[in-house]
Chain A
Amino acid sequence: MLLRLEPRGQRSRLWTYASPVLALALTVVTSAIIFAVLGKDPLQSLHVFLVSPLISATGLPELFVKAAPLILIGVGLSLGFRANVWNIGAEGQYTLGAIFAGGLALRFPEAPGLVLIPAMMVLGVLGGMSWAAIPAYLRVRWNANEILTSLMLTYVAQLLLIYLVTGPWRDPEGYGFPQTALFSSNATPPILVEATRVHLGVLVAFLVAIVGWIVLTRSVIGFQLRVLGQAPRAARFAGFSQDKLIWLSLMAGGGLAGLAGMFEVAGPIGQLTPAISPGYGFTAIIVAFLGRLHPIGVIFGGLILALSYLGGEAAQIDLGMPNAVTGIFQGVLLFFLLACDVLILYRLRGPKPSLAGGA
């Protein structure tokens, strides 16, 4: 290899924070190049993609609305990833949360909002947690890899949703479309800021991030999660129960994903359809990494990736490009982030002066 990676011997603090910034910069440059290749003016396209969603009238509030589910899920994932528990199935847990909460909303449309909304929140959390309990149990009891099990379950969840909205829960007055009836206004979380779509879920997301921060940095449980991820032998020495922490990680991730699902279907979407998530559960993984697995960092990561969603929509309208641009931006951002992260642990050096060859 032309360049060599030399271990630093310790984590570079500078690069832990600089890496995401560098990755973002590289992603912007790459996006500009892609726009150019597609025959669009790069600077104008970047403006449409990254800036216009922020300055339009509904721009900033929409950013928060879009970021809410990403932050909720991201916080849960960041705690689990810290403990080396890889919950890749947040998308499925989100779906189950939406199903549980949506089911309640459809069953009791007339119940007073003050009772119904909190109940839906609880059910959303329960739905997500129950779906995450499966990989947790399989891991703790049978040593089954949670990456594969949680991933498989996302597809089962999606199929369950499709079954419900095309079958038993289909809106009889929906002209045969696969969707449920719209949720009643009692089941819709209150809007917090007038003339926007900023709903209760946005506030909850920020509160969850703060609570997550406290838990991770100041609580005993958070400490246990961190030790488990960094030094499993030391965790054992300290008497921390690995099984308990695995359950906790998956329950937290699942519960928060389920809550995000509840807020999305009750709020912006207003009903259950087959398409209740543009991949939030997977994007939240990027959010967690971008935020350095820290709940406060997740807020920033969530906002940036929310911007990529809005930018994709704007690009579709203003530039006539498919909003697949969102996926490209997100994928490229994660690529660059993973590449730049190597600088945290290693230095780049020129080729080794002859001597014995080696990896």
Chain B
Amino acid sequence: MDQAIIVSFVLSVMTASTPLLLAATGELVTEKSGVLNLGVEGMMLVGAIVGFATTVHTGSAWLGVLAALFAGMAMALIFAILTLTFLANQVATGLALTIFGTGLSALVGSSYVGTAVEALPKVLFGQDALVYLSLLAVFAVAWFLRRSHRGLVLRAVGDSHDAAHAIGYPVILIRYAATLFGGAMCGLAGAYMSLAYSTSWAENMTAGRGWIALALVVFATWRPVWLLVGAYLFGGIMYGSLAIQAAGAINLFGYPLVVPSQLVSALPYLATIAVLVVISRDRVKIRLNAPACLGRPFHAAG
């Protein structure tokens, strides 16, 4: 009996964590290059509806996933053009992307409410391929950043875009690539929500997961493997808070403890703030963790 419960628990947590992991991995790469894209929620929602709609019309969930990937990239492209070429404020643009994406997905999705599709086929241990893809992606990104020369250049661009430019690296181009990758991953995360996690569409169905993914990147101090830990931690908390809400109270060593599920849900955000404070207080230390050029626009001098 216990083993079945544990297995079911682990599988449920994996399902809850996968969209977080996918989106956060993409955003991590974007931020490592020095770009802060707050539009994750919007990109995920657009990915979700595009994926869903494509699946409905083509009958193939995989085509849906692919379409979602491109939809995410398209959204990221809007962001990239505004911030990298037009040098617009990254925070404002990211927010605009979220507001726009939320509205666009709701608009397009209005005619799909109530439709159901077949979920992505399960491949291994009752999980579909995207779950394994998310794990693969984390390790691939970790390898890319740590061990490949291109990854090194990306990190350099995020650390000091002026020095990277002086050496001769194409800063803007690299940032475009990183931003589009982030968008693609967010699109995939959205597709997971509408094609695997739940097999229907509802307005605003990501329910703030995009913001949690942003928090995750900070929580993991921009390191991919910690992203994995954080995603499963946050995913577990999200799943746990639902369970607590249902149960009403948790039994701690036999004493019923009434913990508001909202408090549990708030933990990821509070934890992120705590981590942020810890890494920020030392001006030297923050330089090591957060990409030093995060959010700063790049002007090629002269």
A residues near B, CB below 8 A? Answer: 1, 5, 34, 38, 86, 88, 138, 142-145, 147-149, 151-153, 155-156, 159-160, 162-163, 167, 279, 282-283, 285-286, 289, 321-322, 324-332, 334-335, 338-339, 341-342, 345-346, 358-359
Contact = CB atoms under 8 A, between A and B. Distances in A.
Contact of A145 (B42, B266, B280): B280
B253 interface: no
Contact of B87 (A142, A153, A163, A342): A342
B215 A152 contact: yes
B272 A152 contact: yes
Given A324-B203, A339-B88, A142 B277 contact: yes
Contacts of A163: 260, 262-263
Nearest to B99: A331
A285 B96 CA distance: 10
Contacts of A283: 99
Given A88-B95, A331-B97, A155 B211 contact: yes
A346 B273 CA distance: 38
B103 interface: yes
Given A282-B99, A331-B100, A342-B88, A162 B262 contact: yes
B103 A338 contact: no
Nearest to A151: B211
3 interchain residue pairs of minimum CB distance:
A327-B103, A331-B100, A324-B106
B265 A331 contact: no
Given A138-B273, A322-B203, A327 B102 contact: yes
Interface string B84-122: 011111011101111111111111001000000000000
Given A321-B110, A335-B93, A330 B103 contact: yes
A153 B295 CA distance: 20
Of B42, B104, B286, the most chain A CB neighbours within 10 A belong to B104
Contact of B103 (A38, A325, A339): A325
Contacts of B95: 88, 282, 285-286, 334
Nearest to A332: B100
22 contacts: A5-B85, A143-B283, A144-B277, A156-B266, A156-B270, A159-B265, A160-B262, A163-B262, A167-B260, A282-B95, A282-B98, A286-B95, A324-B105, A327-B100, A327-B102, A331-B42, A331-B100, A331-B101, A338-B93, A339-B82, A345-B87, A359-B171
B91 A147 contact: yes
A169 to B, nearest CB: 12
Interface residues of B, number: 54
A324 B103 contact: yes
B78 interface: yes
B96 A331 contact: yes
Interface in B9-25: none
A85 B165 CA distance: 28
Interface string B67-88: 0000000000010001001111
Nearest to B83: A338
Given A331-B99, A339-B86, A143 B203 contact: no
Contacts of A159: 262-263, 265-266
Give the interface SS of chain B, mostly helix, strand, loop or mixed.
helix
A147 B290 CA distance: 14
A155 B103 contact: no
Contacts of A279: 99
Contacts of A345: 87
A330 B89 contact: no
Nearest to B290: A145
A65 to B, nearest CB: 21
B66 to A, nearest CB: 23
A341 B86 CA distance: 9
Q: Which of A283, A321, A330 has the most CB of B within 10 A?
A: A330
Given A282-B98, A322-B110, 10 more contacts: A5-B87, A148-B276, A155-B208, A160-B266, A331-B101, A335-B82, A335-B100, A338-B86, A339-B82, A342-B86
A1 B215 contact: no
Nearest to A340: B86
Nearest to A341: B88
Contact of A148 (B101, B172, B272, B300): B272
Interface in B248-285: 260, 262-263, 265-266, 269-270, 272-273, 276-277, 280-281, 283
Contacts of A144: 273, 276-277, 280-281
B59 interface: no
B269 A143 contact: no
Contacts of A156: 266, 269-270
B282 to A, nearest CB: 8
A330 B99 contact: yes
Contacts of A329: 103
Contacts of B260: 163, 167
Interface string B228-256: 00000000000000000000000000000
Nearest to A162: B262
Contacts of A138: 273, 276-277, 280
**Which of B91, B101, B172 counts the most chain A CB atoms within 10 A?**
B91
B96 A153 contact: no
Contacts of B272: 148, 152
Contacts of A328: 100, 103-104, 107
B292 interface: no
Given A328-B100, A331-B100, A1 B85 contact: yes
Given A138-B273, A156-B270, A163-B263, A338 B100 contact: no
